Amino acid sequence: MPGFEIFGDEERRQVQDVLDSGVLFRYGFDAARQGQWKAQIFERELAARMGVAHCHLCSSGTAALSIALAVCGVGAGDEVIVPPFTFVATFEAILTAGAVPVFAEIDETLCLDPGAIEAALTPRTKAVMAVHMCGAMARIDEIKTVCDRKGLLLIEDSCQSIGASFQGKALGTFGQMGCYSFDPVKTITCGEGGAVVTDDAQRHALAHAYADHGHDHIGNDRGAEGHPIIGYNYRISELNAAVGVAQLRKLDTILATQRTHKAAIRDAMAAYPQVRFRCLPDPAGDSATFLSFMLPDAERARHTARALNAAGVDGCFYWYDNNWHYLRQWQHLKQMHVAAKLPAQLYDYCPNYSRVALPRSDAIIGRTISMQIKLSWRPEQLQARIAAVRQVLGEMAQG
Ligand SMILES: *Cc1c(COP(=O)(O)O)cnc(C)c1O
């Protein structure tokens, strides 16, 4: 997830354009802005790159999730099926919408198991939020088929998987809405930012209004604009959008470098029969931000993650014990620690998250290590890394 590794003159020039115009707002000031519309350019180019009709930029990936839920009409008391291996933003956005996150098992794609959706259905289920974790895809075609058959909305959280695809189609474009993040650690970054994409013109218009206090953006007189709906402020600034324009134009170079680096390490690791790689429904569509692999049991996985980091192979994550991406360590959710009271019905409708049992997900995440793939590795650093990986895996094989 390394967009920040390759900032250069391209980003500087884009930001300079905005500073020279003096207009940091993405709307209006038509005369003053000297033709600079960075957010609009980013939206147009992102939609084209993803092969989707519409894109709306917003202030974060979390904002994108909130916008997607709102414009899909997911709200009070609705249930949304989600995987337990994700980022906390998934359940935050759902709870903030007044809806109920319902966790269902993942499979060896490390993403939601399409076969687990049916068991999680209730009469209140409204949507499935599929999360394409660690740079690669869920079985999104099968998930889509289940959603269509059951009449459920499909929202894709592709915040970690921009540039990845399944059978040539961009992740984020399978469901009704797709969401991306450009936060500081994502594949391309603009400091803070996000985007929703959709082929539905009406949902796009709603997103556009919702993310800016419900304004309809007709004409260029803010005071005269209508408010078709009650919205909120999820706007991106022109400064952030400017960085994003430059970063998006580097996406294909980023993907190519990541894929080369990942393949070199993966090839070396394939010699160790204890190592199983994450299942990729379409390996060619992997964005290769991470190399995720499983060891035979949790004890060896935990030990190996520690040994890899100690041997200088930094950026090896054992998600089962760290509190970033897996339900097991989310004590705040399990105890429903909130700043302000949630809508009363949520306390009735939400399951007790400390009792949610997902034995298959536990078994998979308990054996999984993800190694971050960086852009800035020089050839000799990559070779040193591979040598260290061989050393650690060799010792594990003997021990
Ligand atoms: C980063 C991330 C988000 C949230 O994005 P922000 O821009 O940081 O708000 C949501 N979902 C997943 C899976 C993420 O990795």
Structural domains in the chain, CATH included, are 3-251 (3.40.640.10), 252-398 (3.90.1150.10)
Residues 212-233, mean pLDDT to the nearest whole number:
88
Residues 115-143, mean pLDDT to the nearest whole number:
98
Residues 251-262, mean pLDDT to the nearest whole number:
98
Share of the chain above pLDDT 70, in %: 99
Residues 337-343, mean pLDDT to the nearest whole number:
87
Closest CA to 190 of 59, 17, 18: 59
pLDDT in tens, 45-76: 999 999 999 999 999 999 999 999 999 999 99
Q: Partners of 180 in the beta sheet?
A: 195
Ligand 1, CB cutoff 6 Å, lining residues = 60-62, 86-87, 89-90, 131, 157, 159-160, 181, 183, 194
Confidence label for 238 from pLDDT (cuts 50, 70 and 90): very high
What spacing in Å lies between the alpha carbon of 301 and ligand 1's midpoint? 26
pLDDT in tens, 285-328: 999 999 999 999 999 999 999 999 999 999 999 999 999 999 99
pLDDT at 39: 98
Query: Helix H segments across the chain?
Result: 9-21, 38-50, 61-71, 89-96, 117-120, 140-150, 201-210, 238-248, 251-269, 298-310, 331-334, 344-349, 359-367, 379-398
CA angle 94–95–97, rounded 5-degree value:
65
Cβ-based neighbours of 215, under 8 Å, separated by 6 or more: 27, 209, 222, 225, 226, 227, 231
pLDDT in tens, 370-397: 999 999 999 999 999 999 999 999 998 7
Over 70: is that where the pLDDT of 94 sits?
Answer: yes
The distance from CA 223 to its chain's CA centroid, rounded to whole angstroms, is 36
Over 70: is that where the pLDDT of 140 sits?
Answer: yes
Locate the ligand 1 atom nearest the alpha carbon of residue 133 and give its number. Answer: 13
Collapsed DSSP state (helix, strand, coil) of residue 311: coil
Q: What is the sign, positive or negative, of the torsion defined by CA atoms of 143, 145, 151, 156?
A: positive
Over 70: is that where the pLDDT of 1 sits?
Answer: no
Confidence label for 225 from pLDDT (cuts 50, 70 and 90): confident
Over 90: is that where the pLDDT of 273 sits?
Answer: yes
Confidence label for 218 from pLDDT (cuts 50, 70 and 90): confident
Query: Which residue among 85, 181, 187, 322 is best mutated to probe the pocket of ligand 1, counting the most ligand atoms within 8 A of its Cβ?
Result: 181
Biggest distance spanned by C-alpha atoms of the chain: 74
Collapsed DSSP state (helix, strand, coil) of residue 78: coil
Residue 353 is classified by DSSP as G
Q: Is 128 exposed, middle or buried (0-12, 13-18, 19+ CB in 10 A)?
A: buried
What spacing in Å lies between the alpha carbon of 33 and ligand 1's midpoint? 31
pLDDT at 266: 98
Q: What residues are annotated to the active site?
A: 186
Tokens 């949790």 label which residue?
298
Residues in the chain: 399
